[in-house]
Amino acid sequence: MKNIFADRMYTVQRSFIREILKVTEDPSIISFAGGLPNPKSFPVDAVASAAAKVLRENGESALQYSTTEGYLPLREYIAKRYAGQGLKVDASEILITNGSQQGLDLIGKIFLNKGDMVAVERPTYLAAIQSFGMYEPVFRDVPLQDDGIDIKALDRILSGNRIKMFYSVPSFQNPTGITYSREKRKQVADVLKSHDTVFIEDNPYGDIRFMGEDLPPMKYFLENDTITMGTFSKTVSPGMRLGWLYASGDIMDKLTIAKQAADLHTSYFVQRVVYQYLVDNDVGQHIKMIKAMYKAQRDAMVSALERYFPEGVGYTKPEGGMFLWVTLPEGISSLDLFDMAIKQKVAFVPGQAFFVDGSGTNTLRLNYSNSDEAQIEEGIKRLGRAVKTLIAEKATVQISKIS
């Protein structure tokens, strides 16, 4: 049987990171590749107590079918969290999803026809490329600067094309760790107000700021035609696969219909357990613990990079989140570095996967949240050794060509 699959299945590739993680299953490899929260942060006992309480007090209803929109008290809880950030949100504007990834898929379903244009950051979250790519859009990328998106480039791309959506991760961006400044958020909002483009704000890391000033979500500056994505994966548990979409009006209506067609509703039992955990525990204190942990790990990685990486290699210094971004000298391939690093028993994600045009060959992403400080020290030492070797080999080849 030939050509039995939909055309879209021939244009979307496997997740690059998932393939790399297969290589890192060797326990002797220090991996900075996965975007994994630290399992030491998981509130195992508190979640167990919440699950037992839900089953004991509301077992029959918690194990039943439920509404597509999600458990109302949980949606009200999320709405109140947004109120604390200066937003007026009704629970009817919250749709519970199976993690942020389902949110991306639902957004693609309701907006994208083949050939529609989607603007993304350069570089951008690779799972968004994969998810939106299922609907065969044309991507237009906008360069990132140290304080957020390049405003002039964004305005130029929106003005010169019919961009249906602009997808962004403004806080501790995956993969770079860059955060939009307050001024840059205002400028992005001003540009979008003059264009008929839906803004998608993906905000999985916003609660994990361990340095600097807290900033409001983009929704604070831009009310209309905006979808905000959130998740409990980074603050409670990724394995429970619980996220949400915040939208209103026709957009929420269409998202709900798409969700009904996809899976009827997100696990009602998991929703009840997470809600019980949230109301029975000091979540603020729990997040404070995560921030302290990740700051120590981030500081350890930045310090190790300063000591073990050669001059000419750049890297971001995030104020929150889980990642930092390394830029090698021009002409040095992170794919070549990956092969060399694996021999040194250390892994990362080559940056090329985060570019819609396959560029970024001299970049890479490092995750610090899932390694302790000793592993970070040793892993960066190994990686620095590999970088120095690769740069030296490249220089030797160039000299031999000249001579």
CB 200 within 8 A of CB 246: no
CA angle 105–110–111, rounded 5-degree value = 100
Same domain, 108 and 196: yes
d(CA 74, CA 72): 5
pLDDT of 1: 58
Examine the domain organization and report whether 16 and 68 are in the same domain.
Answer: no
Q: In what order do the strands lie in the sheet containing 314-315?
A: 314-315, 323-327, 363-367, 349-350
Check if the beta carbon of residue 96 is closer than 8 Å to that of residue 242: yes
Domain C-terminal end among 260, 280, 300:
280
Taking the C-alpha atoms of residue 67 and residue 71, their distance in angstroms, rounded to an integer, is 7
Pairing outcome for strands 349-350 and 363-367: antiparallel
DSSP 381: H
8 A C-beta contact, residue 315 and residue 175: no
Residue 210 lies in a domain: yes
Instruction: Using only the alpha carbons of the chain, give its radius of gyration.
Output: 22
Tokens at 83, concatenated: 């109120």
320 or 396: which leads in pLDDT: 320
Separation between Cα atoms, residue 177 and residue 326, nearest integer Å: 10
Quickly state the pLDDT bin for 402 (edges 50, 70, 90). low
pLDDT tens-digit series, residues 320-368: 999 999 999 999 999 999 999 999 999 999 999 999 999 999 999 999 9
Q: Compute the average pLDDT of residues 85-104.
A: 96
* Choice among 5-9, 219-223, 247-251, 388-392 with the minimum mean pLDDT: 5-9
Model confidence at 121: pLDDT above 60: yes
Chosen domain end from 240, 257, 280 = 280
User: Could you tell me if 296 and 374 lie in one domain?
Assistant: yes
Q: Pinpoint the alpha helices (H) of 201-282.
A: 249-263, 268-280
Per-residue model confidence (pLDDT) at position 398: 63
Residue with token string 């983009």: 218
Average pLDDT, the chain: 94
The answer on 37 and 68 residing in a single domain is: no
Q: Are residues 130 and 178 in the same domain?
A: yes
| Cis peptide upstream of residue 123 (ω within 30 degrees of 0) | yes
Is residue 101 located within the same domain as residue 219? Answer: yes
Residue 308 domain boundaries: 7-42+285-402
Q: Which residue is listed with tokens 């929703």? A: 271
Residue 307: beta bridge partners?
none
Distances from the Cα of 59 to the Cα of 62, 98, 266, 270, 395, angstroms: 5, 21, 17, 12, 67
Q: Among 232, 253, 280, where does a domain finish?
A: 280
Burial of 140 (0-12, 13-18, 19+ CB in 10 A): buried
pLDDT band at 26 (very low <50, low <70, confident <90, very high): confident
Same domain as 110, residue 167:
yes
The pTM of this model reads 0.94
Give the pLDDT confidence score for residue 224 in this predicted structure. 81
Percentage of residues of the chain with pLDDT beyond 90: 88
